[in-house]
Amino acid sequence: MKRMREKDIPAFVQEVAATGCDICAIGPGLYVLGDVDVPRGKRRGLYKKLREIDARYGSRDHLRHKIASHLTSIGRYINARSLESEAWVQFPASGRKIDDEAPNLAAVTAYDVAHLGIYAAMLVAEADGADWSDVARVTLNIDPNREPERARRAWASHLARARWLATSDFREIDLLQ
């Protein structure tokens, strides 16, 4: 299996960004690709380009921290270190339909794509050490005082999904599902 080399990180990031797909670091060791703003009719073409980039560079999980570091160095990051700023609060659910449980499939779903910002916010909140109940209230729009079991279950499920998405390679995910 082909493995990306460290010297290829800048070119990889540049190629992904050139597709119009946002790529940014979340904390010191994670990065995400986002395509939420891509019109539905153009997503298949985007996914094809991303698969081609993936095939050219190969597996890169072993470089996850170095990719995140490079993204941070060029200003493509969400600051996950400042508890005072609570950067994760910038991504509230704000009316989006949040299911009680995130998908548990080995493929990216339409739900995942629609909630990528929520997943990113949850990862940032975790890195910031935010209390789970605050995260459930702000990012999932579930009041943990009124619905403690539902809030905890939804928070745990969505955080697990966010972690999975943040650490999966393209080849591990069927982006067209």
Examine residue 140 and state whether it is found in any structural domain, yes or no: yes
pLDDT tens per residue across span 113-126: 788 888 888 988 88
Same domain, yes or no, for 159 and 135?
Answer: yes
Are 92 and 72 within one domain? no
Mean of the pLDDT values across residues 137-166?
A: 90
25: containing domain: 6-77
How many alpha carbons fall within 13 Å on the CB side of residue 153?
Answer: 9
pTM of the predicted structure, to 2 decimals: 0.49
pLDDT in tens, 2-33: 899 999 999 999 999 888 877 888 777 778 77
Q: pLDDT tens for residues 128-137?
A: 788 898 888 8
CA-based nearest residue to 31, from 23, 21, 39, 22: 23
Q: Are residues 64 and 97 in the same domain?
A: no
111 pLDDT higher than 90: no
Residue 76 near residue 13, CB atoms below 8 Å:
yes
Does residue 88 share a domain with residue 47?
no
Decide if 45 is inside a domain: yes
- Look up residue 60 and give its DSSP letter: -
Q: Tell me, yes or no, whether 174 lies in a domain.
A: no
Percent of the chain with pLDDT over 90: 25
**Structurally, how many domains does the chain consist of?**
2
Average pLDDT (163-175) is 64
The last residue of one of the domains, among 77, 109, 137, is 77
Residues 157 and 104 in one domain: yes
Long-range CB contacts for residues 69-77, cutoff 8 Å, separation at least 24: 69/25, 69/28, 70/9, 70/10, 70/13, 71/13, 71/23, 71/24, 71/25, 71/31, 72/25, 72/28, 74/13, 76/13, 76/17, 76/23, 76/24, 76/25, 77/24, 77/25, 77/26
